[in-house]
Amino acid sequence: MKWIVSNHKMNLTKEQIETYVNQISSLKSMNKLVFCPSNIYFSYFQNQENFQLGSQNVADRNMGALTGEVAVEQLKSLNVKYVIIGHSERRNILNETEEMIHQKLKLTLENGMIPILCIGEKEEEISEREIILKEEIDSAFSEQSNLDQVIIAYEPIWAIGTGRIPTPEEITSITKWIKDYVKEKYQVICPVLYGGSVSENNIEELNTVLNIDGYLIGGTSLDVEKLKVIIEKTEEEV
Ligand code: PGA
């Protein structure tokens, strides 16, 4: 059983989300389906039994005066179970810091929700990939409790939205390295998802990677027909 997490990012209008929710309402899968729409659409995704709800982000502090942000307590009250933390678009475009990511992880864990911590290297950092991943894991994980709840999403930044993916051999060795590192240093077994240009065209190849516990899917998840292909092809592997 794998996680198939759809990250809509800043996409879809009200009309499009209504059609989308209609299309996914009949989806059945042995896999764990998680949808992360824009927060403004959470109400469209309520009371569904075949999938769970995730947020693309959370504030780095508790509920209170912070215009435009959404607190973990608010997400929880809307039945949101998963929270994507530290996505590279937030790190790089919105300058989200390691300290903020640390706080977001802390609040998510304290509230009994499941964080999906995104880590990954830029193209020019490939040769020092392990150093980058170590830094991202350590700054997020240090002095946290309940780390066994964390899911890690390995997303090479150069693969996001580009149509390029690492080879299955590379993904196998990186995901194994991540799992071994957190097990040895933090004594936890964290599932590791792969993200970055996952599509209906490369899913069979990706499913040959033994260490992958699922996928974080951006662009392709906006098209329910393509998402269905990914779900079905991944099901065959179960
Ligand atoms: P992509 O995005 O599937 O569009 O490459 C993945 C992600 O950013 O999570």
pLDDT tens readout for residues 175-198: 999 999 999 999 999 999 999 999
Ligand 1 proximal residues by C-beta, below 6 Å: 7, 155, 160-161, 195-198, 216-220
pLDDT for res 48: 83
User: Hey, whose CA ends up nearest to atom 9 of ligand 1?
Assistant: 218
Specify the amino acid at residue 195: G
Whether 8 sits among the annotated catalytic residues: the reply is no
Is it the case that residue 133 has pLDDT exceeding 60?
Answer: yes
Catalytic, out of 89, 96, 121, 155: 155
Using only C-alpha atoms, the chain has a radius of gyration, in whole angstroms, of: 17
pLDDT score at 237 = 59
pLDDT given for residue 200 in this prediction: 97
Atom of ligand 1 nearest to the CA of 221: 3
Distance of CA 16 from the midpoint of ligand 1 (Å): 19
Ligand 1: nearest atom to the Cα of 84 = 9
Neighbouring residues of 34: CB distance < 8 A, sequence distance ≥ 6: 3, 4, 5, 6, 51, 52, 53, 54, 81, 82
Instruction: Please tell me the residue having the least CA distance from ligand 1 atom 2.
Output: 218
Is it the case that residue 3 has pLDDT exceeding 70? yes
Residue bearing the bigger pLDDT, 200 or 237: 200
Q: Label residue 235 by pLDDT band (50, 70, 90).
A: confident
* Those residues with Cβ within 8 angstroms of residue 128's Cβ, 6 or more apart along the chain or in another chain: 121
Q: Which residue minimizes the CA distance to atom 3 of ligand 1?
A: 218
Question: Average of pLDDT values for 48-75?
Answer: 96
Calculate how far, in angstroms, residue 155's C-alpha sits from the geometric centre of ligand 1: 8
Q: pLDDT at position 17, please?
A: 98
87 is catalytic: yes
Query: 114-119 and 151-154: which strand pairing?
Result: parallel
| pLDDT tens profile 78-114 | 999 999 999 999 999 999 999 999 999 999 999 999 9
Q: Which of the following is catalytic: 87, 96, 102, 121?
A: 87
Nearest residue (CA) to ligand 1, atom 7: 218
C-alpha distance from residue 195 to each of 70, 116, 230 (Å): 24, 11, 13
H-state helical runs in the chain:
14-24, 72-77, 88-92, 98-110, 129-141, 168-186, 203-206, 224-237
CA distance 30 to 238: 8
The three-class DSSP label of residue 130 is: helix
